[in-house]
Amino acid sequence: MDKQPWDSSNAKAKELELPDFGLPEEIRKLAKPHRTAHNRYEAKVILKEILQRGPVVSKTGLSARLTSETIGKLISSDALNKSYDKILHYCALANLDRLFSLAIEPWEFELNPNKNNQGIKARHYLYAPFEYQGSIRIVKFTVKEYQAGITNKLYSLEALDIIVSG
């Protein structure tokens, strides 16, 4: 598989359709939120519970650890500003473990030459379907894979302004 340009991960997400994740009827059920969070505090409490359960594993088998540092980044203003909608972002965080288990990695991307890539083997961009306000939207995860045998680290979550059909 040819690697995609590092800055095209959000644009590539527009190509996704519901069948890319599995049987549409099944995915519609699995994409429903099981928890809610309306603010930083609620999201943080749930993320700490998820952290205690250990690494999350994607549909494609990629494992990633959540850390206290990552939780801080996930609930930060910077993260909120990158997401399409603040409440969608908080709700996606509250369902991070379920969403990550539905996530697929349909493309590989080059490393961003403008970022510090020291010790990084790859940045993985995974996409998951998530029901929000009656539509299935895309949530994007970024996972850092390290060269030195360090466990992959969940780096970010971004709720995109993309509705999938199918």
Q: How many domains does the chain have?
A: 1
Residue 121 placed within a domain: yes
Residue 155 placed within a domain: yes
Range of the domain at 137: 23-163
Angstrom distance (rounded) from CA 18 to CA 24: 6
Angstrom distance (rounded) from CA 140 to CA 94: 14
- pLDDT for 35 equals 97
- pLDDT for 99 equals 98
Question: pLDDT above 90 covers what percent of the chain?
Answer: 90
Angstrom distance (rounded) from CA 8 to CA 23: 26
Predicted TM-score of the model (pTM): 0.95
Q: Give the model confidence (pLDDT) of 53-76 as tens digits.
A: 999 999 999 999 999 999 999 999
Locate 58 and state its tokens. Answer: 């994607």
Q: Give the model confidence (pLDDT) of 7-36 as tens digits.
A: 899 999 999 999 999 999 999 999 999 999
Q: Give the model confidence (pLDDT) of 105-138 as tens digits.
A: 999 999 999 988 999 999 999 999 999 999 999 9
Residue 7 placed within a domain: no
Locate 130 and state its tokens. Answer: 């998530």
Residue 103 placed within a domain: yes
Residue 158 placed within a domain: yes
Residue 107 DSSP label: -
Residue 9 placed within a domain: no
